[in-house]
Structure 1
Amino acid sequence: MPPRRPQVEWPPVAVPGQGLRSDRTVPSGDGGTAVAGAGDGPRREAGPQASEAGDRAAASGEEVQASGLGAGDETGTGPHVARGPEGADGPANPGGSASRGDQAVSEGAELLTELRAAVGRYVVLPSPEALTAVTLWVAATHLQPVLQHAPRLAVVGPTKGCGKSRLLDVITETVHRPMITVNTSPAVVYRVIGKNPPTLLVDEADTIFGPKAGDKEDLRGLLNAGHQRNRPAWRISGPEHKPTQFPTFAMAALAGIGNLPDTIMDRAIVIRMQKRKAGEKIAQFRSRTSVPALHRLRDRLDAWLTPLAESAADLVPEMPVQDRAADTWEPLVLAADLAGGDWPGLARAACSTMTRYEADQDEETALKTRLLRDIRHIFAKRDDPEALRTHDLIEALRSDPEAPWAEHGANGLNAYHLANLLRDFDIKPANVRFSDGRQAKGFTRNKFRDAWERYCPEPSAAANEPGSPRQRGPLAPPSGPVPPAPPGLPSGPKRAR
C-alpha cells in the first residue's frame, strides 16, 4: 500500500472583498503543530525534539541541521539548510529515529544514483550536469505537494532525432502522477490540476508554440503562472456563469524542436539535446521490459520522499544562484539535500554550471541575431546581390558607427570572427565566382534565407508569432559505453548505436 501523501496546508488565495483567516493549526509529524499564517507558508511549532534543538541553536547562534539528513560540511557532501522565517527549523529527525534518519540518507543517495543510471542507460544527455538535473527534477516531482515553485523541464534540440521524446518516455515512468500529451488546451489543463496535481509532460511542444501554431497565449500564461504556488486562473464557469478559480501549480516537462517561448525557458531547467555520435551507445527502450523496472524505481522514490515531505516543507537550502534561477532550482537542490552523500555537491555544481551557460548564451544569442539583421540590411542596400565578398561584407559591418563590429575582438570583426558567429546557423564562406570573373571567398545570399526567416523575420512575417525563437548552442555531449543497468533494470536489451 503506497504511503499516505502529507497534508500540508498552504495559505489561501487572496480574494477581493474577503479577509484571510489569521492563523490555523495543522497536525505536525514531530509531536508539535504547524501554524499557517496569512502571509507565509507553514511554520512549525516544534515538538520536544525540535524545540530542544531550537533552544540550543538560539543559545549558540548556529543553524540547526536536520540530524536525519546529515550535517553540512565544507566538502559540500551534506545538506546545506538555512533556517526558515522567525527561527522556524525543520524537525530534529525527519526520518523518525536517529538510525532511521541515517538509513534514509543512505537509501536516498543510492536511489538517486540508480535513477541517474537508468536515465543515462536509455538517453545520451548533453552533459553530466544535465543528467544530474534530470534525475533531481524527477525526484522533485514526488515532493510537489510541499514545494513553493514548480520548475519546468525544457527538453529542446535543433532537429528531430536528438532523443527528446525518448527522454520524455523515461521520465514519464518515474515522475509523480504523469499526464503525457502531444497537444492540449488550457481548458483541459485547468481541470486536471487540483490539490494533488499531476506532472504535465508535453511532447512536440513546438507544435503548440511554433510560428504555425496560432494564438496560444492562454496556455503560455498558464504554464508561466503555474511555476509558483497560489497563482490561480479565474474563469466564468458552469450554467450559472460564476467566477471560478482554477489552480495552475504543477510540475511540467516540455519537449520540442527549437527554443520554447522565453518566458517558459526563463522558468525552466533547460536540457539541450544533441544527436548521438557514432561512439555513443544506449540501450533500446522497450515498454515490456523497461517500464516495469522504471515503475519500481518510481515507487521507491515515492516511498522514500513521502515521509520526508512534511519536514522538507520547512527546509530552505542554501543556493548558489539568486532570484528566479534560485526559485527554479531550489526543489532539485532540496531533493539532493534530502538524499545526502555526494548529491548536495552535484546539485549545486549542476545549478551553477547550467544557469551560467544559459546566461552566457543569452548574450551570445543577442549578438548573433544582431549580426543576421545587419547582414540582411547590407544585402538590401546593395539591391540583394547573389553573393558578397567576405572582405566587402566585413568592411560594411565595421563601417556602421552604431554597430558593435568595429570593436569586436581585439582589432574589430575579422573573417575568423564572422565565420565563427555564423557557424551555428550552418552558414559558411565558400569560393564564389563574381560577375567580374574573379573568384574570392564570400557568402551567398541563399545561405542566409533560412536563418533570416527563423531568427529575425521581417515584421510582417513575425506579426502572428507568439515569440521569436533564439539559437542557443548545446553543451558538448559525453561519450563512452552504455551505463550499467541499476538493480531491477533488465541487462539484456539490445544496444543500438
Structure 2
Amino acid sequence: MTQPIPAEQTADGAAILDQLHACLTKYVILPSPEAVDAVALWVAATHAQPAWAHAPRLVIRAPEKRCGKSRLLDVVEATCYAPLITVNASPAAVYRAIGTDDPPTLLVDEADTIFGAAAEANEDLRGLLNAGHQRNRPAIRWDNNTRSLEKIPTFAMAALAGIGAMPDTIEDRAVVIRMRRRAPGETVSPYRHRRDSPALRTLARQLGTWLRANLRDLEAAEPAMPVEDRAADTWEPLVAVADLAGGTWPQRARRACETLTAQRDGATVPSDRIRLLVDCRTAFRSAGVTDNQGRPAIPSSVLLDKLRSDPEAPWAEYGKTGGGLTAMKLGQLLAEYEIRSSNIRFGPPHGQVKGYYQADFDDAWHRYCPDPDQTPEGEPSQPSQPSPPSSTPGRVIPLGRLKPSHTTNTNTTAGTA
C-alpha cells in the first residue's frame, strides 16, 4: 500500500506566497509590483536558510522620513524566520547572536545612523554584513580565556532599513527596495502589532513548514538566472523559492531580479577610479592628439587640464586639501588598471613630454566602463543567461514532492504604486 505524502510536502507554495504578497500590500505601499514580489520571496527564503550558499541582504531605503520603511520592516519581522530586530547593536553582540548553526534573521532599523558620517562608518559591522553574505567566511577573534583563535560564523540573512543609501559593499550584496512616501489617495491598513502579528506569524509558520520540507531540493537547485556574478548569487535563493512554488512565481521572480538589479546598477555612483576612466575617454576624444607616428595619445598636462575643467566632475577640487587632481595622483589611480604614463614625442607645441597612449586604456574601458555608443542596441555589456521559457520555469531538479500551484495571483498590482 502506498504511503500518503505528508501534507506539509504537498503544500501549495504559490498560494502561500500569494498570501504573503497580499499581507505586504495590505500594510505597505511598495514602489512597484516587482518590489512586492522581491520582498515576498526574500522573506520566504529566510525560512530555507540552511539550503543557501549565499544569504542575500534586503536593503529598504528611502530619501526621507515617513516613506514606510519601518512599517515594511515590521511586516518582514512578523513573517520571516526567527527575527532578531535592533536599532543599535555592537558588532560583538551581533557576532554572538548569529554565530550559531541556526542563526536568526538579523533586522536593523535606522541603519543610516550606524553607517552615516556621524557614526564614522562602522567598519566592523559592515565587514560582518559583507562576510555573512557567503558561507564559510567566519570572523576570527583571539580568546584570551582559552588562549586560542576562535572562529565565529557570520552567515545569516539580514535586512537593513534606513534613510539614504547603505554602503556600496552592502548594496552590492542586496535586494534593494527604494521606498517613497505615499501619494494622496494611496491608502493602507494600519498595522497594530498585538492585533495583526499573530496572523502574520501563522503565515510564517506555513512558510517554514513548506520550505523546510523541501530543503534538499532547494539546496540542489541551480535555477537559470537572468543576471550574472554577485547579482546571481544574491537572487538565486529567491528564484529557487519561486521555481519551487510554481504558478506565476518563476516568471515574476526573474522579472523582479532583472528590474531591481537594473535599478540598483543605474543608481550606483561609480567609484573615483571608474569615473576617472570615463572622463579620460571623454578627454581623449575631445583632444584629438596623436604622437609623431599618428598613434592616439595625450600629454599628461593636457589630460589634467581637461579633467579639472569639467565643472560636474570632482577633479578640480579632488583630494583631502581640495587642491585638485595632480599628475602623481592621476598616475596612482590609473596604475590600478596597469595604465602608466611614458615619455611620448608629440608634434608642436608639445614636443617630448610625459603622456598616455589611448591603447593602454582600451582594455580597462572595455572591462569596467563599456562605451554605450559602441554596444549594439539591446545587448548588455556582459552577456546574461536568458530567462527560461514559461513552460520550463528554471526547475532543473525533480520536485515531485511539491504540488505546484495552478492558481493565478490576482494581487500582483494591488496596493502598489
TM-score class normalised by the smaller sequence: 0.5 to 0.7
SS in 1 for 2:117: coil
State which of 320, 325, 346 in structure 2 corresponds to 1:459. 320
Partner of 1:354: 260
Amino acid at match of 2:33: P
Partner of 1:230: 136
Distance in 1, Cα, partners of 2:172 & 2:104: 22
Distance in 2, Cα, partners of 1:208 & 1:102: 41
Q: Is structure 2 residue 59 aligned with structure 1 residue 198?
A: no
Distance in 2, Cα, partners of 1:102 & 1:242: 45
Distance in 1, Cα, partners of 2:123 & 2:270: 27
Partner of 2:60: 155
SS in 2 for 1:316: coil
Work out whether residues 150 and 226 of structure 1, in 8 Å CA contact, stay in contact via their aligned partners in 2.
yes
Distance in 2, Cα, partners of 1:197 & 1:288: 25
SS in 2 for 1:234: strand
Partner of 2:91: 186
Amino acid at match of 1:278: P
Distance in 2, Cα, partners of 1:177 & 1:257: 25
Q: Choose between structure 1 and 2 for higher RCO, CA contacts under 8 A separated by at least 6 residues.
A: 2
Distance in 1, Cα, partners of 2:183 & 2:30: 12
Distance in 2, Cα, partners of 1:222 & 1:259: 18
C-alpha displacement at 1:281, in angstroms?
0.8
Work out whether residues 151 and 252 of structure 1, in 8 Å CA contact, stay in contact via their aligned partners in 2.
yes
State how 1:425-464 maps to structure 2 within 5 Å.
Answer: 459=320
C-alpha displacement at 1:482, in angstroms?
4.8
Q: Is structure 2 residue 11 aligned with structure 1 residue 109?
A: no
Deviation digits for residues 440-497 of structure 1 (CA, Å, limit 9, x no counterpart): xxxxxxxxxxxx9xxx997369xxxxxxxxxxxxxxxxx98758xxxxxxxxxxxxxx
Partner of 2:369: none
State how 1:133-144 maps to structure 2 within 5 Å.
Answer: 133-144=38-49
Partner of 2:197: 291
Q: Which runs of 4+ in 1 moved over 3 A?
A: 96-104, 363-366, 400-405, 456-461, 479-483
Work out whether residues 155 and 255 of structure 1, in 8 Å CA contact, stay in contact via their aligned partners in 2.
yes
Work out whether residues 172 and 178 of structure 1, in 8 Å CA contact, stay in contact via their aligned partners in 2.
yes
Question: TM-score normalized by structure 1?
Answer: 0.55
Partner of 1:268: 174
Amino acid at match of 2:209: A
Work out whether residues 336 and 343 of structure 1, in 8 Å CA contact, stay in contact via their aligned partners in 2.
yes
SS in 2 for 1:172: helix
State which of 151, 155, 160 in structure 2 corresponds to 1:245. 151
Partner of 2:232: 326
Amino acid at match of 1:281: T
Deviation digits for residues 135-192 of structure 1 (CA, Å, limit 9, x no counterpart): 0000000010111000000101111111111110110011011000001111111111
Q: Identify if the C-alpha distance between structure 1 residues 99 and 184 changes in structure 2 by more than 3 Å, giving closer, same or farther.
A: closer
Distance in 1, Cα, partners of 2:249 & 2:6: 20
C-alpha displacement at 1:244, in angstroms?
0.3
SS in 1 for 2:243: helix
State how 1:23-38 maps to structure 2 within 5 Å.
Answer: none
Of residues 243-252 and 308-317 in structure 1, the stretch that sits farther from structure 2 once superposed is: 308-317
Amino acid at match of 1:211: A
Deviation digits for residues 291-341 of structure 1 (CA, Å, limit 9, x no counterpart): 111011101101111110122111111101010000000010011011010
Distance in 1, Cα, partners of 2:126 & 2:9: 43
Distance in 2, Cα, partners of 1:313 & 1:273: 32
Work out whether residues 279 and 480 of structure 1, in 8 Å CA contact, stay in contact via their aligned partners in 2.
no
Amino acid at match of 1:162: C
SS in 1 for 2:230: helix
- Cα RMSD, aligned residues only: 3.2
SS in 2 for 1:354: helix
State how 1:30-429 maps to structure 2 within 5 Å.
Answer: 103-104=10-11, 107-193=12-98, 194-362=100-268, 401-402=306-307
Amino acid at match of 1:335: V
Q: Identify if the C-alpha distance between structure 1 residues 318 and 277 changes in structure 2 by more than 3 Å, giving closer, same or farther.
A: same
Distance in 1, Cα, partners of 2:219 & 2:43: 18
SS in 1 for 2:185: coil
Of residues 209-218 and 331-340 in structure 1, the stretch that sits farther from structure 2 once superposed is: 209-218
Distance in 2, Cα, partners of 1:234 & 1:154: 26
Distance in 1, Cα, partners of 2:243 & 2:413: 29
SS in 1 for 2:199: helix
SS in 2 for 1:132: helix
Of residues 343-352 and 213-222 in structure 1, the stretch that sits farther from structure 2 once superposed is: 213-222
Distance in 2, Cα, partners of 1:233 & 1:481: 43
Amino acid at match of 2:320: P
Would you say how many aligned residue pairs link Structure 1 and Structure 2?
295
Distance in 1, Cα, partners of 2:244 & 2:321: 52
Work out whether residues 108 and 159 of structure 2, in 8 Å CA contact, stay in contact via their aligned partners in 1.
yes
C-alpha displacement at 1:363, in angstroms?
6.2
Q: Identify if the C-alpha distance between structure 1 residues 211 and 317 changes in structure 2 by more than 3 Å, giving closer, same or farther.
A: same
Work out whether residues 139 and 152 of structure 2, in 8 Å CA contact, stay in contact via their aligned partners in 1.
yes
Work out whether residues 8 and 213 of structure 2, in 8 Å CA contact, stay in contact via their aligned partners in 1.
no
Question: TM-score normalized by structure 2?
Answer: 0.65
Distance in 1, Cα, partners of 2:413 & 2:4: 42
SS in 1 for 2:220: coil
Distance in 1, Cα, partners of 2:161 & 2:22: 21
C-alpha displacement at 1:218, in angstroms?
1.0
Q: Identify if the C-alpha distance between structure 1 residues 175 and 143 changes in structure 2 by more than 3 Å, giving closer, same or farther.
A: same
